[in-house]
Structure 1
Amino acid sequence: MTAPCFEKIGRIPFKGPESDDPLAFRHYEPDRMVLGKRMEDHLRVAVCWWHSFCWPGVDMFGSGTFDRPWQAADTMENAKLKLHAAFEFFEKLGVPFFCFHDADVAPLGETIAEGDANLARIEELIRDGIDRTGVKLLWGTANLFSHRRYMAGGATNPDPEVFAFAAAQVARVLEMTHRLGGENYVLWGGREGYDTLLNTDMKRELDQLGRFMSLVVEHKHRIGFKGTILIEPKPMEPTKHQYDHDAATVHAFLRKYGLENEIKLNLEVNHATLAGHSFEHEVVYAIANDLMGSFDINRGDPQNGWDTDQFPNDDREAALALYHVLSAGGLTTGGFNFDAKVRRQSIDPEDLFIAHIGGMDTLARGLLMAERMILEGKLASHVADRYAGWNEGLGTDILDGRVGLGDLAKLARDQNLKPEPRSGRQEYLENLVNRY
């Protein structure tokens, strides 16, 4: 029997808004009913394997700062210890889901055969952990960016043998995700882009990427995986430009290659801000185009121009995103995965718990705010009133194609139209949101 890795920490309780206990929830209450559904079932919170258990606290100027025994070396023994720590953490935090890359859970070696053997051994232990704790797999993914073979991408690599190696990795993890009961599979290339156009054939690389995605979808159906295939947009970093720049770019890509009915989006907060958008914008775009899948929840630092992956603490940002998600019917196979890492100086085991507790409380506050927005209906009624003219008369004639450009020009002249602008009431609406 392996000794506990977090022996000084027990199951995290809910103690309410007045509590000063940093190791207790103040707002996240799994069984609390919100719009007819349990809070846990609305949020479907997940812990990511990579930042929480694999990241050693390095940065570009310094080595790792965390003293975690399973990070001493990339061996199978340490992979088993890391797995033990992960499931202990999931159970004590009380989350329903987790996510992983293949390289997070086992050493992949230099060949597909080595990776196959190690992942087969670790898959049995993951299955045991799922059966023992009830914590489920939200999604799996393959790491196609860390190894030097992927320095020019995986699917978009100029070497077709790298493409084949990447395909083998994805097929293996997709099958593993399927066997473990995962609800989604995420495609995030990381390096599917370019650093300079001087050595890049963009059309060829996009066609390669389109073919790769088609192969994944074909394999999903071949093995009977019923989950959702997701793409995670990101504009840059590590490459200068990545082909999955933002939600709209991915949408255009999917339509070009006939995949718009097969793949949805896994949106990340920090990726949205790096693309020059708000997270709310990316959520609304995904919903408007039937692409909403799942979310990686975190935040960036407004004074840094890269993906800092900090834990979320803005309940207003969470509330606006959740308002749109709930208004669209809520999550199906997706969830809110904490793709976030504690800061390099946060070296105590308690810090890892405290970070997730704060993030879960932020989501819970956002959910309760969104519930009030929906029940009061003031935001929705304002938008409906603003566009009411498109629901009858001239508006429906235009949208249904009953009038052409010449007809509209004649109407404007014959009726001597003099439309008057109406206030958008932006400040009122911003103040209204703040009241929640």
Structure 2
Amino acid sequence: MTGYFSDIAPLRFDPESDGLAFRHYDADRIVMGKPLKDHLRFAVAYWHSFVWDGSDPFGGGTFDRPWFPADSMELAKQRADNAFDMFQVLGAPYFCFHDHDVRPEGDSLTENHRRLNEIADVFEHKMEDTGVGLLWGTANLFTHRRFMSGAATNPDPDVFAWCASTVRACMDVTHRLNGENYVLWGGREGYETLLNTDLGQELDHMGRFLSMVVEYKHKIGFKGQILIEPKPQEPSKHQYDYDVATVYGFLKRFGLENEVRVNIEQGHAILAGHSFEHEIALAQTLGIFGSIDMNRNDYQSGWDTDQFPNNVPEVALAYYEILKGGGLTQGGTNFDAKLRRQSLDADDLIAGHAGAMDVCARGFEAAAKMLADDALEQPRRERYAGWTNDAAQQMLKSDLASIAERAEADDLNPQPKSGRQEKLENIVNRYV
């Protein structure tokens, strides 16, 4: 290994280490019948790790990476070399990317596609050499000024066509690289004011675009999941894909609920006013759970700060809901997280991911133990036990008047029963 990470050895599982090492994540440890690495399916986000320069709304970049400013194919290939070096240091089985992350912007659609395929050639060889896989690919349809009024929802049909071409190219590359999912992140699919917006037309266009994506998936024989990533309020004031429930209603409207699933981000769940585990549980219940982006927000900022996870109880409750639904299958744990602007060094990038992988391992093992011990499910079954008798089940098949007449004839007077929330929170705390 030569390059930006050449002084950093591949990380080992060493609970006693004082240096860069995994203290909780033992990739080969068997939990619930298979290795942790196969449960957690970690992925590195190309954009935050290798594209972001440390800039914010009040100041320019603080990071000095040898592949910046990434405005040439030569630098793009250097970035790929270093990216795969980092994947090997971490032992990360997957990565994720947008087209905009891996190649510089060209002067035309044709040039963009040519450059993307040239980098895909590089990826193909590196993936074969290292065994690193592609969890998902996606298209960046939000950064360039052409997308300021949306992508599929743009009032300009030429932008809609540009997006169709770009998504097709990205799906082709994802398919070629054996990606396990394809994500549509609708960063600009929303509006600022109704004064200049035809909301109904934009939703119709968004629905038709997604239908075309599904049709193309089947045309090329792509076996991966198509995922939408719910995201509220930013950057658009009113996002059309606000949360899991909103996305499900959208999918139902266009008959896509059996074709498209969701990639849920912890930070977005919080911004939507939910907990991460709520969004996961709802997606599981609705049959549209696909994958997760694991990060956190600074709860004092009220913004999407994309920090590495460090809260074991939060992570445990998220993985608990994932395990209840059968675990991560084609999905995975993508670290859509970035360093703080003052964390300048190569080993900071490794430490951020390593600590996050440890937190996820601790949370996952706690979740698996809670599930195996029936620690939460037994109290839950007891709470709903009244619904297991025949009379209660028959009531669900009856009608309102009949139920009302029986309640009045029996002079029912039900008394409240404790939900025992504090006791259940104490149970969770014993595991985490």
TM-score, normalising length from structure 2? Answer: 0.98
Could you list the runs of 4 or more consecutive aligned residues of structure 1 that deviate by over 4 angstroms after TM superposition? none
Segment of structure 1 superposing worse, 264-273 or 375-384: 375-384
Q: 1:350 aligns with which of 318, 334, 347?
A: 347
Q: 1:404 aligns with which of 396, 399, 405?
A: 399
Q: Does 2:41 match 1:48? A: no
Measure how far apart 1:329 and its partner are.
1.1
Q: 2:25 aligns with which of 25, 28, 49?
A: 28
Q: Does 2:113 match 1:101? A: no
Q: Does 2:85 match 1:85? A: no
Q: 1:185 aligns with which of 182, 187, 194?
A: 182
Matches within 5 A, 1:351-366: 351-366=348-363
The C-alpha deviation readout for 1:159-179, integer Å capped at 9, x for no partner, is: 011000001000100011000
d(CA) in 2 for partners of 1:388, 1:213: 42
Measure how far apart 1:267 and its partner are.
0.1
Measure how far apart 1:431 and its partner are.
0.7
Q: How many residue pairs are counted as aligned between the two chains?
A: 431
The C-alpha deviation readout for 1:366-406, integer Å capped at 9, x for no partner, is: 0110121012112001111111122222321122x1x2111
> Kindly, what percent of the aligned residue pairs are identical?
57
d(CA) in 1 for partners of 2:141, 2:240: 15
Unaligned residue ranges in structure 1 (runs of 5+):
none
The C-alpha deviation readout for 1:351-374, integer Å capped at 9, x for no partner, is: 000000010001000011012101
Segment of structure 1 superposing worse, 67-76 or 237-246: 67-76
Structure 1 counterpart of 2:85, one-letter code:
E
Measure how far apart 1:119 and its partner are.
1.1
Measure how far apart 1:229 and its partner are.
0.1
- Matched residue, 1:7: 6
Measure how far apart 1:54 and its partner are.
0.2
Any conservation in 1 of the 2:316–2:364 contact (CA below 8 Å)? yes
Structure 1 counterpart of 2:402, one-letter code:
D
Task: Please state whether the residue corresponding to 1:70 is helix, strand or coil.
Answer: coil
Structure 1 counterpart of 2:284, one-letter code:
I
Any conservation in 1 of the 2:262–2:288 contact (CA below 8 Å)? yes
- Matched residue, 1:427: 422
d(CA) in 1 for partners of 2:70, 2:281: 43
Measure how far apart 1:74 and its partner are.
1.2
Matches within 5 A, 1:169-184: 169-184=166-181
- Matched residue, 1:19: 17
Cα RMSD (Å): 0.9
d(CA) in 1 for partners of 2:66, 2:276: 36
Task: Please state whether the residue corresponding to 1:330 is helix, strand or coil.
Answer: coil
Measure how far apart 1:146 and its partner are.
0.5
d(CA) in 2 for partners of 1:376, 1:212: 45
Structure 2 counterpart of 1:7, one-letter code:
S
Q: 2:114 aligns with which of 111, 117, 132?
A: 117
Task: Please state whether the residue corresponding to 2:67 is helix, strand or coil.
Answer: helix
Structure 2 counterpart of 1:312, one-letter code:
P
d(CA) in 2 for partners of 1:3, 1:94: 17
The C-alpha deviation readout for 1:181-204, integer Å capped at 9, x for no partner, is: 000000002100001111111000
TM-score, normalising length from structure 1? Answer: 0.98
Unaligned residue ranges in structure 2 (runs of 5+):
none
- Matched residue, 1:258: 255
Task: Please state whether the residue corresponding to 2:290 is helix, strand or coil.
Answer: strand
Cα 1:435/1:168, change in 2 over 3 Å? same
d(CA) in 2 for partners of 1:182, 1:194: 31
Structure 2 counterpart of 1:284, one-letter code:
A
Structure 1 counterpart of 2:4, one-letter code:
C
Matches within 5 A, 1:208-219: 208-219=205-216
Measure how far apart 1:416 and its partner are.
1.2
Q: 1:415 aligns with which of 410, 417, 420?
A: 410
Matches within 5 A, 1:264-283: 264-283=261-280
d(CA) in 2 for partners of 1:398, 1:412: 11
